[in-house]
């Protein structure tokens, strides 16, 4: 074999050996790739959901006459670190005797002849028959055929009764009890400043019984509740502003 051919074979053998060595070096992870690192840390803390209702007074709806509706205003300011949804909340009527004080009927927390209208930036709830349907599973709940109330507590009915039953050739208003939570503002931020909602309450002209006059004052409790934006106050993972 000629010297030139031997040289070529030897060169090929050396090159092949070098290639195999590089492949082996990369495969064994002995530092053939470059890398660098720097350390850091995550700053973690919780924010808060707060609402300021300073100056909120007890609303005065005393001395009402039939169709003598009164309107009061409630004001509130979101002061938390993130956006909040604000609700008007009536305490659970099944646990509060005050809601059943007028008329004296446990199934009618705000009165068969009561009118309530709550208006915030997100819409209105209204009703002219605040009694709970006897067929409903609980106080403040509705069944098919009653008025329509959405998941935010908005809707209801603007229909006013002209008689107490359908046999008088009049208008009998479907049951439309006040929901426990009524949405007032959605996605409210501290930079939005003070907001307000109106509450109108009274008794319809059907309240004409002499026994209904000069009734004792009933205290109907309510709260202004701030929830983390997008969280329903009925969610099992929220405490509804309690504690």
My answer on whether 164 and 65 are in the same domain is yes
Residue 241 Ramachandran class (φ > 0 left, ψ -120 to 50 alpha, else beta): left
My answer on whether 83 and 164 are in the same domain is yes
Q: Spell out a b/e string for 98-123, using b for 16 or more CB atoms within 10 Å of the CB, else e.
A: ebbbbbeeeebbbbbbbbbbbbbebb
Could you give the CA distance from residue 28 to residue 204 in angstroms, rounded to a whole number? 88
Rg (CA), the chain: 35
My answer on whether 157 and 122 are in the same domain is yes
My answer on whether 23 and 133 are in the same domain is no
Return the pLDDT at 59. Answer: 85
User: Residue 35 domain-assigned?
Assistant: no
My answer on whether 153 and 220 are in the same domain is yes
User: Residue 196 domain-assigned?
Assistant: yes
Instruction: Yes or no: say if 200 and 156 are a contact pair by the CB < 8 Å rule.
Output: no
> Is 182 exposed, middle or buried, given 0-12, 13-18 or 19+ CB atoms closer than 10 A?
buried
Could you give the CA distance from residue 152 to residue 132 in angstroms, rounded to a whole number? 18
My answer on whether 179 and 112 are in the same domain is yes
User: Residue 174 domain-assigned?
Assistant: yes
My answer on whether 11 and 82 are in the same domain is no
My answer on whether 68 and 120 are in the same domain is yes
My answer on whether 67 and 177 are in the same domain is yes
My answer on whether 83 and 168 are in the same domain is yes
Could you give the CA distance from residue 179 to residue 109 in angstroms, rounded to a whole number? 11
My answer on whether 98 and 167 are in the same domain is yes
| Structural domain boundaries enclosing 11 | 1-29
User: Residue 100 domain-assigned?
Assistant: yes
User: Residue 241 domain-assigned?
Assistant: no
Average pLDDT by consecutive 10-residue portion of the chain (243 residues)?
53 51 52 88 87 80 89 94 93 51 47 88 93 80 89 92 58 80 96 94 82 76 91 90 74
Number of structural domains the chain divides into? 2
My answer on whether 5 and 74 are in the same domain is no
User: Residue 39 domain-assigned?
Assistant: no
């Amino acid at each position: 074999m000629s010297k030139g051919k031997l040289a070529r074979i030897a060169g090929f053998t050396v090159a092949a050996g070098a290639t195999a060595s590089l492949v082996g070096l990369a495969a064994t992870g002995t530092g053939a790739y470059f890398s660098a690192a720097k350390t850091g840390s995550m700053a973690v803390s919780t924010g808060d959901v707060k609402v300021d209702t300073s100056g909120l007074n007890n609303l005065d709806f005393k001395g009402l006459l039939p169709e003598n509706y009164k309107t009061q205003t409630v004001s509130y300011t979101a002061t938390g670190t993130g956006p909040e949804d604000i609700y008007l909340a009536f305490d659970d009527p099944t646990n509060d005797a005050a809601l059943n004080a007028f008329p004296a009927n446990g199934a009618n927390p705000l009165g068969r002849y009561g009118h309530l209208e709550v208006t915030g930036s997100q819409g209105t709830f209204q009703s002219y028959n605040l009694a709970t349907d006897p067929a409903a599973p609980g106080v403040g709940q509705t069944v098919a055929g009653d008025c329509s109330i959405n998941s935010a507590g908005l809707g209801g009915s603007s229909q006013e009764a002209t008689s107490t039953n359908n046999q008088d050739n009049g208008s009998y208003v479907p049951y439309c009890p006040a929901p426990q939570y009524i949405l007032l503002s959605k996605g409210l931020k501290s930079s939005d400043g003070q907001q307000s909602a109106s509450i109108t309450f009274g008794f319809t002209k059907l309240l004409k019984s002499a026994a209904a006059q000069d009734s004792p004052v009933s205290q109907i409790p309510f709260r202004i509740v701030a929830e983390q934006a997008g969280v329903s106050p009925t969610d099992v993972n929220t405490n509804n502003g309690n504690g």
